[in-house]
Amino acid sequence: MTAQAVHVLLVTHDDLLWQHWEQLDAGQWTAVRGRTLDDLKRWQHQGRRLAVLDSGLPDLPGWGDSQTWQPLLKDVRLLVASTSPSDEEGKQALSLGASGYAHAYAPAEALGRILTHVSAGDIWMGRTLVTRLLREIDSRLSHRTSTDWANGLTQREVEVAQRAAMGDSNQAIADMLGITERTVRAHLSAVFDKLGVTDRLLLALKVHGIR
């Protein structure tokens, strides 16, 4: 049985951006255009849950305006899309409850994959933002010494997990430990499976005893 297409609201005033977003796979996504935050509010009131917001929308409230954003983001899985993405904007949007932050002109296939993650309840962000957040977590919580999370892992898996939780890339970990990048990926896959996590951010939270 063919899966039913998921409705997604795409909010932008930019006709060129809308034309790009329209390239989403119609068999997987039913794209509906919005032009203002009022359209997002109506989408929310209709009980719809998935939306993409152009961060360049005119008169958009600042990301420091939590009183405006938090009600808008309640019960909505919102992907914030920027034509000029910055880690700081992404961090602010995610801290208010957005479900993802991405480049507005990501290829349609990539945007579809991102929406699949967001619609499933996952958080999506670019690699540089992930690395920044991991380093912030590590610098603030490096005093925690519990290693209960490492039970069941091999010594090498522990070493790889600790470096990944600090924000190091696979290649950096490989160079530091004297192994291949392919081996690092294999160790990380085993670590994710054993610890029940799906990405580096969740791994960092586990390593630092946050969850």
Maximal C-alpha separation, the chain: 55
Instruction: Judge residue 101's burial from the number of C-beta atoms within 10 Å of its C-beta, 0-12 exposed, 13-18 middle, 19 or more buried.
Output: buried
pTM listed for this prediction: 0.67
The dihedral built from the CA positions of residue 59, 63, 65 and 66, taken in this order, carries a sign that is positive
Q: In whole angstroms, give the CA distance from residue 200 to residue 108.
A: 25
Structural domains of the chain sorted by starting position, each given as residue range(s) with its CATH number in brackets: 6-134 (3.40.50.2300), 145-208 (1.10.10.10)
Length of the chain, please? 211
| pLDDT of the chain, 211 residues: tens digit per residue | 446 899 999 999 999 999 999 999 999 999 999 999 999 999 999 999 999 999 999 989 998 888 889 888 888 999 999 999 888 888 888 888 888 888 999 999 989 988 998 898 887 876 666 666 666 666 665 555 567 888 899 999 999 998 888 778 888 899 999 999 999 999 999 999 999 888 777 787 788 665 5
Whether residue 61 contacts residue 24, with contact meaning beta carbons closer than 8 Å, is answered with no
